[in-house]
Structure 1
Amino acid sequence: MLKLMRSPLKYVQGQGALLHVYEETKNLGKSFLFICSNSGFKSCHEKIEKSFEGTDATIHFEIFGGISSIGEVERMRAIVKEKNIECVAAIGGGSAIDTAKATAHYENLPVLVIPTVVATDAPCTGLSVIYHNDGSFSNYIFYPKNPDAVIVDSDIIANAPAKFLVAGMGDALGTYFEARACEKAKAPSLENGGITKSAMALCKLCYDTLLEDGYKALKACENKVVTPALEAIIEANTYLSGVGADNGGLAVSHSVYNGFTALKECESTMHGSVVAFGTLAQLVIEDAPEEEFYEVMEFCTSVGLPVTLEELGVTDKDRVRIAAENACAEGESIHNMIGDVTPEQLYNALIVADALGREFLNQ
C-alpha cells in the first residue's frame, strides 16, 4: 500500500481573517456563491462584502435548508448555473460545508470553506455526509481533493457558543488514538493510503495541543475573547484533526459515534461528545496504560466532555448493546483494530469505561 498525504491547498486563520477573503481567494474565480447557514450569514456577510469592495468580482449569498441533502445540493447546482458561478463557498457548520463541497464537486469548481464553529474537523477533510430529503442518511462522498481554501476568523469562533468548541475538542481527541491504532494494524487512512510519519506527527501534535491549551481555550471562548490558547485549539480542532483524520484513519471512536446515532436518546448529543467517550472505550479495548487512560479522562472532565454513559443520555444497558451492535456493522472503522472487535467486546469496553468514569467523577 502506497503512503500518501492530502490537505487543503491553503489554510488561513486569525482575527479579522474574513476581511481578507478576496485577497486570499482571488485566484479561485471572479464569481462566488456563498452557501450559508442563517447564523453564518448574519455573522459573516458584512466582513466578506467589505473584503470584496472595489474589486471586479461578484458575490451571491444563499441561505441553505439546514441539511446537506440531495435536494439542497441540486438547488445550489442550479444557482451555480444560473449565476455563472466560478467558486463555491461555505459559511457555517458541517452541513453547510458538506453542501458546498458536493456542489463544487459536481460542478467541477473550486471550493472555499469558512467555518463559523469548530465543532468538527469537517472544514479540511475531503469528504461529505449526504442525506435524503427527509433527513435520513444517504451516503458519503469521497472527493479527489481537499478544499482549495479554508479561512477561519478567530473572532467569529470566539463569539460562538463554547459548547461547539468543546465538541470540536472531543472530535479532535480521537484523532491521535485512532490513527495510532490504524498505523499498528497497517490499516488504510480515510484517503485509502498508507499512513505517513507526517500524518502521525500532526495527529500527535493535535493531542498534545488539546492537553496544553484545551482548558485555557475554553475559558477564552466562554468570555468571548481571543488568546493564543484559543488560536491553538481552533487550529487543533480544524486543521490538525481534519488533516490528521484524513491521513491517519479512524478506528473505535468514530464507530462508537455511528453506533450511538441509532439511539433516540442520543439525537441531541453532539458528535464530538460521543467520539470522546468512544476514545475512552478504545483505550479500554487496547488495555492502554493506566496513566494514559486517566490522562484522557482528566482532560475530558476539565473541558466538560462526557466520561459516563449517563452524560451521553444513555441509562439502559440494553440500549448500549444496540449501539455496540450498530458500531460493529460491516464496513465500520472499528474493524481497523488489530484482531478486530466484536459487539460483545465493544459492549464490555463501554460498560467498563462508564464504570471508571463514574468512579472518577465521585472521587
Structure 2
Amino acid sequence: MSQAAITGAPSRYIQGAGCVREAGIHIAKLGNNAFCLGGKRGTASVHDALVASCGEANVHLTFELFAGECCLSEVSRLQTLATAAGATVIVGVGGGKSMDTAKVLANLMELPVVIIPTIASSDAPCTALSVIYTDTGDLAKYEFFPASPNLVLVDTQVICKTPTRFLVAGMGDALATYYEAEACCTSRSKNCHSGMSSLAARCLAKLCRDTLFEYGVAAKHLSDANTTGPALDHVVEANTLLSGVGAESSGVAAAHDIQNGLAVCPESHDYYHGEKVAFGVCAQLLMQDSPQEVIQQEVVAQAVMAADTLGEAYLKSIQ
C-alpha cells in the first residue's frame, strides 16, 4: 500500500472585501456561460455585483434557485436546466448544501466549478467532497471528487453581514482541524485523498488553530458589528482555506465521526455542523487522555468564541 503524501487544494482562492465585484474576469477563464445556483438570501447578497462583473467580462449568467437539499433528485433537476442553458461552468453560491450541490453537478457534467460562499460556517468551499442527503434530509453518503473546486471566491464584505453564529460555527469546525490532523498523523491514518498527510497540510492545520486562538474573539466582535477588519479576514481564511486544505489533506478523526453520529439525532438538528464538531473535539481530547492544559485551552476557546453552542453546553456539564 502506497505511503505517498497527497495534498489537495482549490486551483485558485480569492478573498477580500468586495472581491465578488471582480468575479467575472476569473469566471471567464473557466467558461463564458455560467449556470449559477444558490438559495434566495445567498444569491441576493451577491446578485447585482455578480451580474455586473460577469457582464463586463462577457460571461452569460443563468440563475436558478436551489431547492434546499443536496440530494440526487435536486442534482438531476439542475442538470436538466444547466444542460438546456448550455452551461460551460457551474457556480455555487450560499451555504454548505448549495455549494455541495454545485460540486456534485459540476462533477457529473464534467465542468469546472466556482464556489462563492456567503457564510463562513464550515470548510466546505475548498474541499473535494460533498455530503449527499436523501430527499427527506437523512444522510445518504459522502461523495469524493478527483479535484477541489477550480475557484473559491470569498467576499468578506458579504460574510460580515451574516449572523455571527455562522462564523462561530465555522470556528468550531476549524478548531477540529489541528487535533484531528495530529491524531491521524500519530496513527498513520490516510487522509481524504487516500494518501498520507504532508508537512504542508500539518502546518496549515496548526496555523488554523493558532489563528483562531489569536483572532477568534476579535473576529466575533467585528461580526457582531457587521464590519470587516484584519481579525475577521484571518478567521474567515482559517474557517475556509486553512481548515479545508488542512483537514482534507491531513485526515479527520473522532471529532467528525461524533458529529456524524449526532447528526442522526433529531435533538441535534437545531445545531450547525461546526457546533456539533466542536462538541466532538472535546470528546476526542478526553478519549485521547490529552493533557489537562490542552483540554482547558480548548474549553476556554469554545466558551469565549462559541457561546450557546452544543459544545459549550457539554463543557458546562463536565466542569
Shared topology, TM-score over 0.5?
yes
Aligned-pair CA distance for 1:54: 3.3
Aligned-pair CA distance for 1:286: 1.3
Structure 2: which amino acid aligns with 1:296? E
The residue that corresponds to 1:33 in the other structure is 35
CA distance in 2, matches of 1:62, 1:127: 22
Higher relative contact order (CA 8 A, sep 6+): 2
Matches within 5 A, 1:1-363: 1-305=3-307, 311=313, 354=314, 357-358=316-317, 360=319
Q: CA RMSD in A?
A: 1.4
CA distance in 1, matches of 2:59, 2:269: 41
Task: Kindly indicate whether the alpha-carbon contact (under 8 Å) linking 1:186 and 1:194 is maintained by their aligned counterparts in 2.
Answer: yes
Structure 2: which amino acid aligns with 1:229? A
CA distance in 2, matches of 1:144, 1:306: 38
Structure 1: which amino acid aligns with 2:177? T
CA distance in 2, matches of 1:149, 1:31: 15
Structure 2: which amino acid aligns with 1:5? T
TM-score (norm 2): 0.96
SS of residue in 2 equivalent to 1:68: coil
Task: Kindly indicate whether the alpha-carbon contact (under 8 Å) linking 2:128 and 2:146 is maintained by their aligned counterparts in 1.
Answer: yes
SS of residue in 2 equivalent to 1:293: helix
Task: Kindly indicate whether the alpha-carbon contact (under 8 Å) linking 1:277 and 1:306 is maintained by their aligned counterparts in 2.
Answer: no
Task: Kindly indicate whether the alpha-carbon contact (under 8 Å) linking 1:297 and 1:307 is maintained by their aligned counterparts in 2.
Answer: no
**In terms of mean alpha carbon deviation, does 130-139 or 59-68 score higher?**
130-139
CA distance in 1, matches of 2:209, 2:245: 13
Aligned-pair CA distance for 1:308: 6.6
Name the larger-Rg structure: 1
Distance 1:14 1:310, change over 3 A: closer
Distance 1:6 1:151, change over 3 A: same
Gaps (5+ residues) in structure 1? 312-353
Aligned-pair CA distance for 1:306: 6.0
CA distance in 1, matches of 2:309, 2:70: 30
SS of residue in 2 equivalent to 1:33: strand
Distance 1:94 1:76, change over 3 A: same
TM-score (norm 1): 0.85
The residue that corresponds to 1:330 in the other structure is none
CA distance in 2, matches of 1:184, 1:229: 32
CA distance in 2, matches of 1:94, 1:38: 14
CA distance in 1, matches of 2:312, 2:235: 27
Paired positions, count: 317
CA distance in 2, matches of 1:220, 1:195: 34
Task: Kindly indicate whether the alpha-carbon contact (under 8 Å) linking 1:190 and 1:248 is maintained by their aligned counterparts in 2.
Answer: yes
The residue that corresponds to 1:336 in the other structure is none
SS of residue in 1 equivalent to 2:24: helix
**In terms of mean alpha carbon deviation, does 211-220 or 34-43 score higher?**
34-43
Distance 1:10 1:223, change over 3 A: same
Task: Kindly indicate whether the alpha-carbon contact (under 8 Å) linking 2:276 and 2:310 is maintained by their aligned counterparts in 1.
Answer: no
Distance 1:40 1:310, change over 3 A: closer
CA distance in 1, matches of 2:264, 2:86: 41
Distance 1:50 1:201, change over 3 A: same
Q: Which runs of 4+ in 1 moved over 4 A?
A: 305-310
